[in-house]
């Protein structure tokens, strides 16, 4: 699969944009994780820039090809974790004074079906900076269905690595 092959593909799940609110329950596995990654507005700005430039993905060893340098709604992304391809499209971007990031959803060929939000948050009351992940997914390919228990463990490990990547 090549990056250019993603342009005409549609999302593999009906709940597009759900990471912005209540995660859908029926049939999905959820991941919600957060970790303090520092403090101060400068740390927040640096981490936000890294997140929007695929820093969490690259930080877990994913090779990233994308149609834009920074995340933007509609950006196609073809990630590779070893031999596994993970085609995705950015659903929305979070650009608030104290919260920045993006969510992407899966496209055909991704081993999972669902959406993941990657963001950083600044708490002005405590000066703390947090990395946050929110996701819902279910197996999409025959081999990911067979290996679902292993995939869940791998997803939790990768989510923790995402948090520390920035």
**Residue 76 included in any domain:** yes
pTM over 0.85: yes
**Residue 4 included in any domain:** no
Q: 85-93: long-range contacts (C-beta < 8 A, 24 or more apart)? A: 85/1, 85/109, 85/110, 86/62, 86/110, 86/111, 87/1, 87/5, 87/6, 87/9, 89/6, 89/9, 89/11, 91/11, 91/16, 91/17, 91/19, 91/115, 92/17, 92/20, 93/52
Question: What total number of domains does the chain contain?
Answer: 1
pLDDT of residue 29: 86
pLDDT of residue 116: 95
CA distances from residue 27 to 13, 18, 93 in whole angstroms, order as listed: 11, 14, 26
**Residue 138 included in any domain:** yes
**Residue 2 included in any domain:** no
pLDDT of residue 25: 85
**Residue 6 included in any domain:** no
Instruction: Provide block-wise average pLDDT over 10 residues at a time, the chain (166 residues).
Output: 94 95 88 94 97 93 94 96 91 98 95 93 98 88 56 64 74
**Residue 151 included in any domain:** yes
CATH of the domain at 149: 3.30.530.20
Give residue 136's domain range: 29-165
**Residue 22 included in any domain:** no
**Residue 39 included in any domain:** yes
């Amino acid at each position: 699969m090549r990056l250019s092959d993603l342009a005409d593909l549609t999302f593999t799940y009906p709940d597009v944009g759900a990471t912005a609110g209540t995660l859908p329950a029926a049939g999905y596995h959820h991941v919600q994780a957060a970790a303090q990654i520092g403090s101060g507005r400068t740390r927040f700005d640096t981490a936000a820039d890294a997140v929007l430039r695929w820093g969490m993905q690259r930080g877990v060893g994913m090779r990233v090809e994308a149609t834009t340098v920074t995340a933007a709604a509609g950006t196609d992304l073809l990630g590779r974790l070893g031999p596994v391809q993970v085609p995705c499209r950015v659903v929305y971007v979070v650009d608030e004074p104290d919260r920045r990031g993006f969510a992407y959803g899966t496209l055909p060929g991704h081993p999972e079906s669902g959406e993941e939000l990657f963001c950083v948050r600044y708490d002005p009351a405590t000066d703390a900076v947090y990395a946050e992940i929110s996701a819902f997914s279910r197996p999409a390919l025959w081999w990911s269905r067979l290996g679902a228990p292993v995939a869940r463990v791998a997803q939790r490990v990768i989510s923790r690595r995402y948090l520390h990547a920035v």
